[in-house]
Structure 1
Amino acid sequence: MEGVALKLFGNIYAGRRVLVTGHTGFKGSWLALWLRELGAQVAGLALAPDTSPSHWSLLNLEDVTDHRVDLRDRQAVHQILDVYRPEIVFHLAAQPLVRRSYRDPITTFASNVMGLVNLFEAVRVCPSVRVLVNATTDKVYADHVGPEGYRETDPLGGHDPYSSSKACAELVSDCYRKSFFSAPDSTVRIATARAGNVIGGGDWAEDRLVPDLVRAAISRQTLKVRNPDAIRPWQHVLEPLSGYLRLGQCLWSDASFAGAWNFGPGAASEISVRSLTSQLGLHWSALHIETDDAPHPHEAATLRLDAGKAVAQLAWQPIWSIETALARTAAWYRDFHESGRVDSTSDLTAYIADARRLGLEWVA
């Protein structure tokens, strides 16, 4: 695996000091795994995992330096960057759940906005940092009417506290880029990455559809699904991560890639909650659902992302169809439930092999 992986992304990550905030989370743990396979010297900055089991704990990545730090602790964040001196930073730490943000908006804004400010302030005085990729969300956009997917130039918005906090994070990123990192002597390049709804093995978060479906199937219970007609851009977790890594590669050599980027799955994978549950049921016969008609906090009815900019300028594209993403997700959870096996590396190997068959630039 390492012999193949080390050649990815122009070998830009091999031997580099890379900091991942939020490495104990679902997406962050997958990124830490991939960066390790790329030969990076990986350090993580995050709170302890908030689920048990957790993908991070199961991976047992002993060669990833694990710092348990709250981004709201400005002094601690400065200390980590001062000691570790990262060259590349992937910022994934966040309070990521919409429904939790309604229950606890103060923590959501403190983590997602002021935590980011603390990170930027630490980067300002850390001369080693050259690239920072801030992962936000597809939910940063103001609602619009029409079938078109959101483009990076569309207005920002956010009805719920989570979405609003991430739209604020976009504005903060743009502010710091223009105010502090655009001077002729600045070497820091900042980009934001807006991804779709990620699925994949190892997610046990509350109030997320696939983990809820998996828990119901394992316990042989019927799951009540809210907003069954809501449309989302579903994608396997490795899809946006390949985008983040490709973006980091391009930023390293060219400051013109600074800015906002969408990483979405394409129209065929922008399907309803009802369709996703039906398709997942093909891979897990124990899954039974019914519609939950109780009132719920507001969530957008339709989210579609236009990733045309990333396709054209980064030579990035989604690789796995929704059918493949769901099949591999179901297989991951079944293997873990039946045998305790954590086979994330197999998914990563298969994803890279499929990218190679497509002749994508980042695997050349």
Structure 2
Amino acid sequence: MENLVSNASLQSAYKGKKVLLTGHTGFKGAWLMNWLQMLGADVKGYALPPSYEGGIYQLMEPFATGASILADIRNKELLKQTVQDFQPDFIFHLAAQPLVRLSYEIPAETFEVNAVGTANLLETAISLNKRCAVVVITTDKVYENKEQDILYTENDVLGGYDPYSASKACTEIVVSSFRSSFFNPSQSLQNRPSVASARAGNVIGGGDWSKDRIVPDIVRALRNGAPIPVRNPNSVRPWQHVLEPLHGYLILGAMLYAQPVEFSTAFNFGPLPADHLTVQELVETAIDSWGSGEWNNLATPGQPHEANLLKLHIGKAMQQLQWKPKLNAKEAIQWTIEWYKQPVEKQLDFTLNQINSYQQL
């Protein structure tokens, strides 16, 4: 099992395999598409067009257009046709409405995209008469957050204050239902799909320009010589570089494909306890990495609720998958800021170099 942590073993697991990647135009999805292509996988993406300019998908778009279907995960018939035509060996499901603050503006749509969209995908997988490892990516926010200094494990109660968090908890329930009803680990899964879920913490890295996310807010302000707007400076989050959970997803996918009965379950991916930082600590480390800058506390009463304290327990992934974080919080922030310092014409190469560098750690 430990061998799957190495690049060579991941390449052996994915080279020549067909991988359907939903959400490939987004931040994490585009990084994962690059990595899978570097491993030699035959990748097909299914997602809406990018929601912002300058992301990694657009940097790689000339090389990825032939592998892309730009469509809504709620388009059930097209999704089913895509799965049937492609006959994937792996499915990584990242397509989602991923923003907490936006979920207050479009709550019903957030539930529809995240929970019903996942049900659409899993329903298409029922008809696959072959081994296929399906990894559904949710979030650290699926837990009923008690705002206490505790580490949430995979067995803790699901919940969600805001529509985004609740929709992702619903997604986990959808996964559990489909797993029990159609992909039951108690039965032989050798020639049928198997399903696992991955719950990752707050992810940072180059190429994210989403609205209302702290790293894009930091970089926009630093580039403009303006103070960084910080809404919740004292909030604690499980920050990690994007490559950390993606590495976990790849290991989980490979293990699920090889041993579907044992790995059809949920896994947390997050930093070590010492690397759960406040937003203020993240911002000040980013300023140090940039070389200049300042920030303003914009915390105001009446703004939409966001969790103040959230930490993940990652012992299950460390023990069963032999996965562990390679970068501490400071290194993750430095890698992120270095990406944004690159001129646009070098950003794609820098992305690939960071993947290569990470694999060598």
TM-score interval (norm. to shorter): over 0.9
The DSSP-based 3-state class of the residue aligned with 1:173 is: helix
Matches within 5 A, 1:143-182: 143-144=145-146, 146-182=148-184
The DSSP-based 3-state class of the residue aligned with 2:262 is: helix
Q: Is the 8 A contact 2:59 2:347 kept in 1?
A: no
The DSSP-based 3-state class of the residue aligned with 1:60 is: helix
Equivalent residue for 1:236? 241
1:216 aligns with 2:217: no
Equivalent residue for 1:207? 212
- Separation of aligned partners in 1, 2:87 and 2:243: 27
Distance apart, 1:54 and its partner CA: 1.8
The DSSP-based 3-state class of the residue aligned with 1:62 is: helix
The DSSP-based 3-state class of the residue aligned with 1:333 is: helix
* Alignment-mate amino acid for residue 333 of structure 2: L
Q: Is the 8 A contact 2:147 2:308 kept in 1?
A: no
Q: Is the 8 A contact 1:193 1:263 kept in 2?
A: yes
Q: Is the 8 A contact 1:225 1:292 kept in 2?
A: yes
1:341 aligns with 2:354: no
Number of aligned pairs? 349
Equivalent residue for 1:302? 309
Name stretches of at least 5 consecutive residues in structure 2 with no aligned partner.
Answer: 1-5
- Separation of aligned partners in 1, 2:304 and 2:287: 26
Q: Is the 8 A contact 2:36 2:43 kept in 1?
A: yes
Change (3 A) 1:246 1:6: closer
Matches within 5 A, 1:212-361: 212-254=217-259, 255-295=261-301, 296-336=303-343, 341-342=347-348, 343-354=350-361
- Separation of aligned partners in 1, 2:102 and 2:147: 27
Equivalent residue for 1:117? 119
Distance apart, 1:129 and its partner CA: 5.1
Provide Cα deviations, 1:158-185, integer angstroms capped at 9, x if missing partner: 0000000000000000000001111735
- Separation of aligned partners in 2, 1:118 and 1:136: 15
Equivalent residue for 1:191? 196
Q: Is the 8 A contact 1:139 1:163 kept in 2?
A: yes
- Separation of aligned partners in 1, 2:140 and 2:78: 30
- Separation of aligned partners in 1, 2:62 and 2:96: 21
Equivalent residue for 2:20? 19
Q: Give the alignment's TM-score, normalised by structure 1.
A: 0.93
- Separation of aligned partners in 1, 2:222 and 2:248: 31
- Separation of aligned partners in 1, 2:179 and 2:163: 24
Change (3 A) 1:310 1:341: closer
Name stretches of at least 5 consecutive residues in structure 1 with no aligned partner.
Answer: 355-364
* Alignment-mate amino acid for residue 224 of structure 2: S
Matches within 5 A, 1:49-128: 49-60=50-61, 62=63, 65-128=67-130
Equivalent residue for 1:34? 35
- Separation of aligned partners in 1, 2:38 and 2:235: 36
The DSSP-based 3-state class of the residue aligned with 2:158 is: coil
Distance apart, 1:9 and its partner CA: 2.2
Distance apart, 1:284 and its partner CA: 1.2
Change (3 A) 1:129 1:94: farther
Provide Cα deviations, 1:7-31, integer angstroms capped at 9, x if missing partner: 2326110100000000000000000
* Alignment-mate amino acid for residue 357 of structure 2: A
Q: Is the 8 A contact 1:10 1:249 kept in 2?
A: no
Equivalent residue for 1:357? none
- Separation of aligned partners in 2, 1:65 and 1:117: 23
* Alignment-mate amino acid for residue 100 of structure 1: L
- Separation of aligned partners in 2, 1:145 and 1:275: 19
Q: Is the 8 A contact 2:73 2:117 kept in 1?
A: yes
Distance apart, 1:145 and its partner CA: 5.0
Distance apart, 1:334 and its partner CA: 0.6
More off after superposition, 95-104 vs 181-190:
181-190
- Separation of aligned partners in 2, 1:190 and 1:105: 27
Provide Cα deviations, 1:80-130, integer angstroms capped at 9, x if missing partner: 111111110000000000000000112111100111111011111122451
Q: Is the 8 A contact 1:213 1:287 kept in 2?
A: no
- Separation of aligned partners in 2, 1:330 and 1:287: 13
